Structure 1
Amino acid sequence: MFNAETAPLFSRAASPLTLFSLFAAPYCPPPYDRLWEEERLNGSGGANIYGLTLPPVYETLKIKSDTPFSFKSMAHHWPNRTTIKVKIPMNTKGKLVINLPGILYDVAQWVMFPLNMLISGMCHLQPKSSVWNEGKWQNRRLEGSGKPLDQIKTEILEQQDIAYNEEDLVRLYDSLPNVSAKEDLVGRYWKGKILRTNGSVLDLAEWVIVRPLSLLGIKWGKRYRTQHQGDPLLFRWADKLYFPIPIWGNVGMTDIRWREEATATMNYDHQPWKDYFKLISNENGSVVLLGVWTHKHIAGGWFTLTLEDSE
C-alpha cells in the first residue's frame, strides 16, 4: 500500500481532521444539503484511490470540502468514470460533527432521570403559571407590555439582551405562520438563543449554563437528522466541533396543535416535554423560528432557532 503511487495521498493528508473528512464523513453527516458533483467508476465493484481499494459501499463516498484533493484531481486514474449529482451536506469545511449510537440516548436519559425530574418539577415553581393552552384560554385577553408586534419581532431578530414580557411572546406566536416539521426542520442544524422572561426555567439555564459556556466558545443548538431522530441539545465549539448531549434522550418531529393551530413540534421520546415552533423571519436569507418549550401544559421558556447556513 505504501509505495510511490500512494505517497501523494499520505503526504498531503497531514491532519487527523483531514483523514476523518475522507473516511468518516458518511457516518457523521454535517448539516444541510447542496448539490455537489461526485464521481465514481462505472460498473465497478469498488473504487481504487491511489492503491486504496474501497468496497462498493464507499462508491458514493462523501468527500468533505477540506479534503486536500478531490476526485476531479485524479481524473487520469479513472478513465471510465461518470459524473453524477448527489445531495450531500454543505457548510462542512473545517467542521467535525459527532454522531452517537441510538442506544446511548436511551441509556443517558435513564441515568439522568433525577435531573430531568427536577427540571420538570421546576416548571411548577415558576413565578407565573405560564399556562397558555388550557381551559378557556381563547377568552383570555393578552395585553402584555403594549409594544407593537413589529417592535417585539425586531428586538428578537436583533438579539437584544433584554427581558421579554411573556404575554408579548404569546401574542407574537399567535400572529406568526406555521411551519412543517418534515419540510422545514428535518435535515437541518439550528443555532439557539434563549429569550429571557425573568420567570422561566430556561432563564435559569441561560444564567447558569449558557452564558458561562459561551465564555469558552461553546454555544448550543438543535439538530434534526430525520423525522424520528434528533438532538434536542447540540453543543458546538468555535463553530468547528459539533457534539450532541443525549441526557434528554432522542426526539422526533411531528406537527401538533398548540393554541388552535398545528405546527412543527419536537417531541421527546422519554420526557413529558414538547417544543412548538413558528416562523418569525424568512427575510434576507435568514430563517428564524420562534420556539416555546413546554412541560405538559406549562410553558417552561421561550427561545429562537436560526438556520445555521442562513447567517
Structure 2
Amino acid sequence: MIASGKAYSAEELMPLYEQLEPVSIEFMLGTWRGGKFDGGSEPDPINWYGKRFDSAAHAEPLLVRAKDGSIQAYTALGAAQLREVKFAGKVTATLIYDKQPIMDYFRKVNDDVVIGLGDIKGKPTDFFFHLTRDN
C-alpha cells in the first residue's frame, strides 16, 4: 500500500492497523522519513520530511526539508515525548506533543516501517501516516 502511493481511507486502514504489533519506545529511537496515505491529493505546506526520536523525553514530531535541502525541526508545534500508551487494545509507543493536544500511536509493519495514527483532540481519530527508518 505504501509503495503504491495510492490514497486509502481510514475505513480501509483501521482494520489493518489493528492487526499490527505494537512497538517499544526503544524501537522508535532515531530519524524516520514520513508519508501520508492521501495519494498525493493533499497539499503539504511545510514540506514534511518525517520525525526524530532522540529519547523517551525528547522528540521532534515534525521534521521538514528546507529550501536548501537540509532537514530541520519544524518548531511551530513544539517538541514532544514518547510514552507507552494503550490504544485499540494494545500498549504501544506513543508520541505526545508538548504544546498541542496531539498523540501519535505507532504499530510495526516490519523492522524499518511503522504505521502511525494521529489522534488530535476534538477531531476524528482517522489520520494515518507511515514512517520508514532513515539509516
Q: Give me the TM-score of the superposition, normalised by structure 1.
A: 0.40
User: What residue number does 2:119 align with?
Assistant: 294
Q: Which whole-Å CA distance do the structure 1 matches of 2:69 and 2:57 have between them?
A: 26
1:307 aligns with 2:109: no
Q: Which whole-Å CA distance do the structure 2 matches of 1:175 and 1:239 have between them?
A: 40
User: What residue number does 1:247 align with?
Assistant: 76
The 3-state SS of whatever aligns with 2:33 is strand
Report % sequence identity.
29
What's the C-alpha RMSD, in Å, of the aligned pairs? 2.3
State whether residues 92 and 106 of structure 2, in contact with CA within 8 Å, keep that contact through their aligned partners in structure 1. Answer: yes
Q: Which whole-Å CA distance do the structure 1 matches of 2:125 and 2:107 have between them?
A: 15
State whether residues 196 and 302 of structure 1, in contact with CA within 8 Å, keep that contact through their aligned partners in structure 2. Answer: no
The 3-state SS of whatever aligns with 2:21 is coil
1:170 is displaced (CA, Å) by 0.5
Q: 1:208 to 1:238 in 2, by over 3 A?
A: closer
The structure 1 residue matched to 2:101, chosen from 239, 262, 272, is: 272
Report Cα offsets for 1:141-189 as digits up to 9, x if no partner. Answer: xxxxxxxxxxxxxx22x1x2222131221111111111001x1112x00
State whether residues 116 and 128 of structure 2, in contact with CA within 8 Å, keep that contact through their aligned partners in structure 1. Answer: yes
Q: Which whole-Å CA distance do the structure 2 matches of 1:305 and 1:208 have between them?
A: 16
User: What residue number does 2:27 align with?
Assistant: 184
Mark the runs of 5 or more structure 2 residues left unpaired by the alignment. Answer: none
The 3-state SS of whatever aligns with 1:290 is strand
Structure with max Cα Rg = 1
**Structure with the higher strand share, 1 or 2:** 2
What letter is aligned with 2:18? D
1:224 aligns with 2:53: yes
State whether residues 36 and 129 of structure 2, in contact with CA within 8 Å, keep that contact through their aligned partners in structure 1. Answer: yes
Runs of 4 or more above 6 Å deviation: none
Kindly tell me the number of residue pairs found equivalent between the two proteins.
Answer: 134
1:256 is displaced (CA, Å) by 0.5
What letter is aligned with 1:207? P
User: What residue number does 1:209 align with?
Assistant: 45
1:296 is displaced (CA, Å) by 2.5
**Structure with the higher helix share, 1 or 2:** 1
